[in-house]
Amino acid sequence: MAILNDFLKIYSNQSTMVLYRSAIFKFIEFVYEIPRANIRLTKDERVKLEKMTNKYFNDERDISKDLLNFVVSMNGSTPPKSAKTYYGCVKEFLLFNGGELSHRDLKMIKNKLPRGGARTEEIDLDITIINQILDHMDVKGKALVLILASSGMRIGEALQIELDDINMETTPVSIHIRGDYTKNGKQRDTFISKEAKTTLEEWIKVRESYLVSAQNRNNGLVKSGKGRPKNENDNRVFPFSYSVAEQMWKNALDKSENLSYDKSTGRKKVRIHALRKFFRSHLAVGCSLDIVEALMGHEGYLTDAYRRYNTKQIGEIYLKYEHLLYISMPEDILKLKSEFTDQLNNTNDALCHNRSQVETLIAENNAYRDRLDNVEEILNTIVDAVKQGRSPDNIFFDENEGKLILGK
């Protein structure tokens, strides 16, 4: 087991480790023609494959030929994007353990990869579908879905955030996503809607009792050899695995009659990752794209946005368009609210423009008043000159005094 474990230790992200382990197991199953009874491996099957991984390097096999045949086997059976991912994972594993792959070998193998991108036909999530799914979820499922839909987080990030990473006192509620959780290793902050906050508060009230119940259930599985001991001090907001989250999602899809599979790939058409796409498409209706992409953690936008705004300013911008991410509010109300917000923004812009015009008029009026005062002063000076028997020609402008005066 040491060969596989030593390799996986170089990755800190749990989701990455799961992906690499899955790809390596597929490779070992292919090389040794080990049939898989079910999609999900049992504990005994995982142990067996880990042992076979050690055996692979002891057998002194032709690594280049095995990798080439593995890639060819995925043509027609594995989506192109998945095939490229599996190839990359296995290649890194082989090289890490001293495997020799020449530039010529790698070029030839890459040319055999399936062509094209993702093939799975996906159904975009809208408010109606999400509401149907939420109707068949308990409070922890609802909290997870609403947080994903309103924050733009990846599911792997959401399942790693801890209670201390959430600041419930800010408006909007902020979540600090540490670099240890993210795909690119960069930390960031994001926010959740008031709707998500309310459901999260309800989940936190029962979270401890869930942990106790889960611990008791797990003890029985551990004794029977079907489970692993759980961490009693798990401080994660959602103290369960990705597979548990996926099962909750699948059950809710099934009960709400939204569960369907792509014929070519066998994957679900409505995926939990689509909540991230929902976040992007809905928030971007009003909010600038660079802010949306930064909240999602896309590296280029992340650097640029945080250079121009601080976290407080981004939170204020998020709050302005938060209503675009509401799920439970009827769509017609949402439309009215969105239209009202647009009208309010337009009114504010008009008021600012009008205020500027008023200020200009006031300034011009003051200038005319000053000129009028000066004319009155001139007339008074002339009148005084006439009364004193002096000629108005004896009036001159004193630059030091800045006014008309009578000459002596």
Report the distance separating Cα 92 and Cα 84, nearest Å. Answer: 12
What torsion, rounded to 10 degrees, do the Cα atoms 332, 333, 338, 343 define?
Answer: 100
Provide the whole-model pTM: 0.62
Report the distance separating Cα 290 and Cα 47, nearest Å. Answer: 46
348 vs 250, more confident: 250
- In degrees, rounded to 5, the angle at the alpha carbon of residue 256 between the alpha carbons of residues 251 and 258 is 85
3 state SS for 48-87: HHHHHHHHHHHCCCCHHHHHHHHHHHCCCCCCHHHHHHHH
Confidence of residue 175 (pLDDT cuts 50, 70, 90): very high
Give me the residue spans of the domains in the chain.
2-111, 127-329, 338-406
Query: Which DSSP symbol is given to 123?
Result: P
**Residue 182 structure tokens:** 């993210």
Answer yes or no: is pLDDT of 248 > 70: yes
Answer yes or no: is pLDDT of 164 > 80: yes
Report the distance separating Cα 86 and Cα 299, nearest Å. Answer: 24
- At position 381, the amino acid (one-letter code) is T
pLDDT above 70 covers a percentage of the chain that reads 76
Report the distance separating Cα 81 and Cα 67, nearest Å. Answer: 17
What is the per-residue pLDDT across 2-47, written as a single tens digit (0 to 9) for each? 688 888 888 877 778 888 999 999 999 999 998 887 777 888 888 8
Q: What is the reported pLDDT for 38? A: 75
What is the per-residue pLDDT across 256-273, written as a single tens digit (0 to 9) for each? 999 998 876 678 899 999
For the domain made up of 127-329, the CATH class stated in words is mainly alpha
The contacts found for 172-181 with CB under 8 angstroms, 24 or more apart, are 172/197, 172/315, 172/318, 172/319, 172/322, 173/197, 173/200, 174/311, 174/315, 175/147, 175/151, 177/153, 177/297, 180/12, 180/13, 181/13, 181/156, 181/157
- SS3 state of residue 193: coil
Confidence of residue 339 (pLDDT cuts 50, 70, 90): low
Report the distance separating Cα 122 and Cα 270, nearest Å. Answer: 6
What is the per-residue pLDDT across 37-83, written as a single tens digit (0 to 9) for each? 777 788 888 888 888 998 898 888 899 999 999 999 988 778 788 88
- SS3 state of residue 233: coil
Which residues on adjacent β-strands are paired with residue 406? 395
The average pLDDT across 83-109 equals 90
Place of tokens 């993702």: 118
Helices (H) and strands (E) in the chain, counts: 16, 5
Q: Render 252-321 in DSSP notation, one character per residue.
A: HHHHTT---B-TTT--BSS-TTHHHHHHHHHHTTTS-HHHHHHHHT-HHHHHHHHHH--HHHHHHHHHHH
The average pLDDT across 336-344 equals 61
Q: What is the reported pLDDT for 185? A: 83
Report the distance separating Cα 72 and Cα 11, nearest Å. Answer: 28
Q: What is the reported pLDDT for 183? A: 80
395 vs 298, more confident: 298
15 vs 278, more confident: 278
Confidence of residue 354 (pLDDT cuts 50, 70, 90): low
Pairing of strands 403-406, 395-398: antiparallel
Q: What is the reported pLDDT for 307? A: 74
Compute the mean pLDDT over every residue in the chain, rounded to the nearest whole number: 83
The average pLDDT across 205-231 equals 74
Report the distance separating Cα 308 and Cα 335, nearest Å. Answer: 31
Answer yes or no: is pLDDT of 187 > 80: yes
